[in-house]
Amino acid sequence: MKKSIKIFAPATVANLCCGFDVLGCCLDNVGDEMIISLTSEPGVKITKIDGANLPMETHKNVAGVSVEALLKKYGKEIGVEIEIYKKIKAGSGIGSSAASSAGAVWAVNYLLENPFTAHELVAFAMEGEKLASGNAHADNVAPALLGSFTLVRSYNPLDVVRLNAPSDLVMTVIHPQIEVKTSDSRSVIKQNVKLKDAVQQWGNVGGLVAGLLTEDYELIGRSLEDVIIEPLRSILIPEFKAVKEAAILKGALGCGISGSGPSIFALSKGEVTANLVAEAMQEIYSKTGLDFDIHVSKINSQGVRIMK
Ligand code: HSE
């Protein structure tokens, strides 16, 4: 017995400025590939990792622990083999660990003929995030599994809401080739927040959600603001301020840190603006001497998908 599928496991942008640990969205043309197989020998095995130096031991691998969490709940002895072809670099801030975790549980669920809903898969994939960063945040795995934009309304109990996105939104992401570990980037955040900052932040979260649902691009732009996390984390990212100013000048609706960084994202209305933003980002980074990648992507409304 060997049933296999090849999947695309998308990159994601978490936080979206105001929504630390609660908002995220799914990219369309940036992501990993994985081949997942059911086998007759029970147990989860990582049989290949290409493109990254990551642990092959199941209990140390984010895809491995996520699938083990799924199988524990499924309750039957199943054999799973996982091949991972990494295209998203670890520590990039565009959901590298989330892609592996979400892709693996989505594919195993598919091969088992969908015993779990996509919403239920989020909890299994969060086990991978817990292993990767010490914190089971869902703002990358939820959009990877559900597509579009997602809001984690509550962690306990887990309540994830998928939000439709206006069709003209396009994401530009610059990824400086320096690794910022999510655990390190979380350690610079203060545990206490001033009430006046909290008021501004939750106003923006509400504004962003309303803007997405009513396709109000200007409201989306006004709401892409982070008064709590960005001031602390942006110091870890070379040229953050210059990139943000240039993106806004070129017409981006908003710009901020992608997840825990070092990637910087900008959301624009339409591909023309998103490409102008990409050029402006490139111009700034070309002068730093640092290597970088730039992606321009539509929002992926589907999430993980099967590849032919
Ligand atoms: N919400 C998480 C953080 C996302 O900002 O630490 C990590 O990609």
Strands 43-50 and 79-85: parallel
Minimum-distance ligand 1 atom for the alpha carbon of 257: 5
Report pLDDT for 179: 84
| Three-state DSSP class for residue 151 | strand
pLDDT for 275-288, tens place per residue?
Answer: 999 999 999 999 99
pLDDT-derived band at 94, boundaries 50, 70, 90: very high
User: The whole model's pTM is what?
Assistant: 0.96
As a whole number, mean pLDDT of residues 229-257 equals: 97
User: Given the CA of residue 139, which atom of ligand 1 is nearest to it?
Assistant: 1
Reference 182, options 219, 236, 222, 221; nearest CA is 236
The residue whose CA has the least distance to atom 1 of ligand 1 is 21
Q: Given this model, what pLDDT does residue 183 score?
A: 84
Q: Closest ligand 1 atom, CA of 258?
A: 8
Residue 233 has pLDDT above 60, yes or no: yes
- DSSP calls for 154-197: EETTEEEEEE---TTEEEEEEEES----HHHHHHTS-S---HHH
Please say if the pLDDT value at position 1 is more than 70: no
State what percent of residues in the chain have pLDDT above 90.
94
> 271 CA to middle of ligand 1, Å?
26
Which residues have any ligand 1 atom within 6 Å of their CB? 14-15, 20-21, 93, 137, 139-140, 182, 185-186, 259-260
172 is catalytic: no
Instruction: Kindly report the backbone phi and psi dihedral angles of residue 31, in degrees, each rounded to the nearest multiple of 5, phi listed first.
Output: 175, 175
Q: Is 182 a catalytic residue?
A: yes
CA-closest residue to ligand 1 atom 8: 259
How confident is the model at residue 2, as a pLDDT? 66
pLDDT at 184 (0 to 100): 87
Surface-to-core class of residue 94, CB atoms within 10 Å of its CB (0-12 exposed, 13-18 middle, 19+ buried): buried
Cα distances from 286 to residues 86, 124, 147, 180, 257, in angstroms, run 25, 40, 32, 20, 19
